[in-house]
Amino acid sequence: MNVLVINAGSSSLKYELFRMENETTLASGKVERIGLDTAIVTHEPSGKDEYRDVLEILDHTAAMREVLRLLTHPEHGVVQSMSEVHAVGHRIVHGGETFSQSVRVTSDVKKEIKRLYDLAPLHNPAHMMGIQAVEAILPDVPQAVVFDTAFHQTMPAKSYLYPIPMVLYRKHRIRRYGFHGTSHAYVSARAAQVLNRPLDALKMITCHIGNGASVTAIQGGRSIDTSMGMTPLEGLMMGTRSGDLDPAIVPYAMEKEELTLREVNSMLNKHSGLYAVSGISSDMREIVQAMEEDNGNARLAFEMYEYRLRKYIGGYAAAMNGVDAIVFTAGVGENSSVLREAVCTQLTYMGVRLDEEANRAASSQERLISMPDSPVAVLVIPTNEELMIARDTYRLINGG
Ligand code: ADP
């Protein structure tokens, strides 16, 4: 059985086709700049050359049609016909309080995703366009939805509520939801396997550090707290997002700089973080390189980024009264040995003993990077959100 995983954004559509019998990728790719006559298509069929094209793609249905054309193409394709796409799984950013697990798409599920537009105005409408595009072209193919927020629905009220008037929660559902749930769930399960210990018995802190970044405290396989909040702005300092700050700064900066709501939102989401402090880039590779060339602002940006991450790790160890394993994943977490070393060498008080050689090894493999006798294990686990979505879809479509 083949499962097509779709991640639809407002102007992009990423896809990966899996053969579930052996969980291999048949092809992956993306359509970018949807809505323009210069949309860019990148298609990577397994075992064949990459294919790129620039063409007019005006909406998500046209993008989906192009994806299916390429998947079944005599030269660039990987299957004979569209009938070999047996199910489709979609990544959905916000499942609110309704969805604590993945579900099959029904008209009620679609209504609920629409009701949640307010909480994720940039993401959920785009995901819906992806679902509707599949319905238009493959009307008989079953679809499932997998939510970034679902894994965090196990958080207790003391973690997910904000200490503000409760009417805001009751009326508007203002609370912590958390994001990157599919990734935190995947890497925590893999880490338990690598450690050869039952997930149920472990206290873990998983650090998903990419352009967006979040940390999760996982006890017995369940998320009990996470750093992102009602939106993905809270928590860690990120590439272009501020993360935590004094909320009084928002009205103060708006008044002093005469900013509109839209402008202050954009400032905190797109012009803050590493980018703002370094004045160079939001990309950790460029920050580390500039730091090595003695750029003081880049060093300060790195130190703030690392310090804020380390404080969260310490906080979550306190929240769980201990930690058995710390896991690093996503673009920065998987690749930046410099960041991992900076964090871990300051966690010796809690029993972290980094294996510096294993940490520095240029490898994209899952691996242990702490010493064999370290009371707290540290691991690098490359995330694979697409595979998780494919697995959930496969299970749901097969009645699981
Ligand atoms: P997204 O949140 O967009 O999914 P990713 O998880 O792909 O992001 O992470 C992207 C980030 O990973 C880049 O911005 C870059 O800073 C970082 N990154 C990638 N490779 C390296 C590397 N070798 N060293 C340090 N940082 C890296």
Q: How far apart are the first and last CA of the chain?
A: 15
Which residue carries 């939106």 as its tokens?
231
Same domain, 139 and 204: no
Pocket residue to mutate for ligand 1, from 183, 283, 334, 341, most atoms within 8 A of Cβ:
283
Length of the chain measured in residues = 400
269 CA distance to ligand 1 middle (Å):
17
Residue 239 within any structural domain of the chain: yes
Pocket residue to mutate for ligand 1, from 241, 284, 309, most atoms within 8 A of Cβ:
284
Same domain, 242 and 310: yes
Same domain, 202 and 342: yes
329 CA distance to ligand 1 middle (Å):
10
Does 273 contact ligand 1 (Cβ within 6 A)?
no
Same domain, 258 and 374: yes
Same domain, 231 and 143: no
Cβ neighbour number for residue 211 with a 10 Å cutoff: 16
The number of domains in the chain is 2
Kindly write down the DSSP assignment for every residue of 68-100, as one continuous string.
Answer: HHHHT-TTT-SSSSGGG--EEEEEES--TTT-S
Same domain, 231 and 311: yes
Residue 180 within any structural domain of the chain: no
Does 382 contact ligand 1 (Cβ within 6 A)?
no
Predicted local distance difference test score (pLDDT) of residue 400: 72
Both structure tokens of 104? 């099959």
Same domain, 119 and 51: yes
Residue 42 within any structural domain of the chain: yes
Q: Which atom of ligand 1 is nearest to the CA of 284?
A: 16
Residue 399 within any structural domain of the chain: no
243 contact partners, CB below 8 Å, separation of at least 6: 213, 227, 233, 234, 235, 236, 237, 273, 308
Active site residues: 148
Residue 55 within any structural domain of the chain: yes
The domain boundary, picked from 111, 130, 147, lies at 147
Predicted local distance difference test score (pLDDT) of residue 362: 81
- Domain span at residue 117 reads 2-147
339 CA distance to ligand 1 middle (Å):
12
140 CA distance to ligand 1 middle (Å):
38
318, 319, 321, 323: CA torsion to nearest 10: -80
Residue 98 within any structural domain of the chain: yes
Does 284 contact ligand 1 (Cβ within 6 A)?
yes
Does 212 contact ligand 1 (Cβ within 6 A)?
yes
Whole-structure pTM value: 0.95
Q: Which atom of ligand 1 is nearest to the CA of 211?
A: 2
Same domain, 317 and 257: yes
Residue 166 within any structural domain of the chain: no
Same domain, 100 and 236: no
What's the CA gap between 133 and 139, in Å, rounded? 9
153 CA distance to ligand 1 middle (Å):
27
Pocket residue to mutate for ligand 1, from 214, 274, 285, most atoms within 8 A of Cβ:
285
Does 333 contact ligand 1 (Cβ within 6 A)?
no
The domain boundary, picked from 147, 164, 189, lies at 147
Residue 179 within any structural domain of the chain: no
CATH number at residue 220: 3.30.420.40
What's the CA gap between 2 and 4, in Å, rounded? 7
Does 283 contact ligand 1 (Cβ within 6 A)?
yes
Instruction: Give me the tens of pLDDT residue by residue for the chain, a chain 400 residues long.
Output: 999 999 999 899 999 999 999 999 999 999 999 999 999 999 999 999 999 999 999 999 999 999 999 999 999 999 999 999 999 999 999 999 999 999 999 999 999 999 999 888 889 999 999 999 999 999 999 999 999 999 999 999 999 999 999 999 999 999 999 999 999 999 999 999 999 999 999 999 999 999 999 999 999 999 999 999 999 999 999 999 999 999 999 999 999 999 999 999 999 999 999 999 999 999 999 999 999 999 999 999 999 999 999 999 999 999 999 999 999 999 999 999 999 999 999 999 999 999 999 999 987 889 999 999 999 999 999 999 999 999 999 999 998 7
CA neighbor of 133 nearest in space, from 45, 28, 18, 13:
13
Same domain, 138 and 217: no
Same domain, 34 and 120: yes
Does 181 contact ligand 1 (Cβ within 6 A)?
no
Residue 329 φ/ψ region, left for φ over 0, alpha for ψ in the -120 to 50 degree band, beta for the rest:
beta
Q: Which atom of ligand 1 is nearest to the CA of 239?
A: 14
Same domain, 95 and 243: no
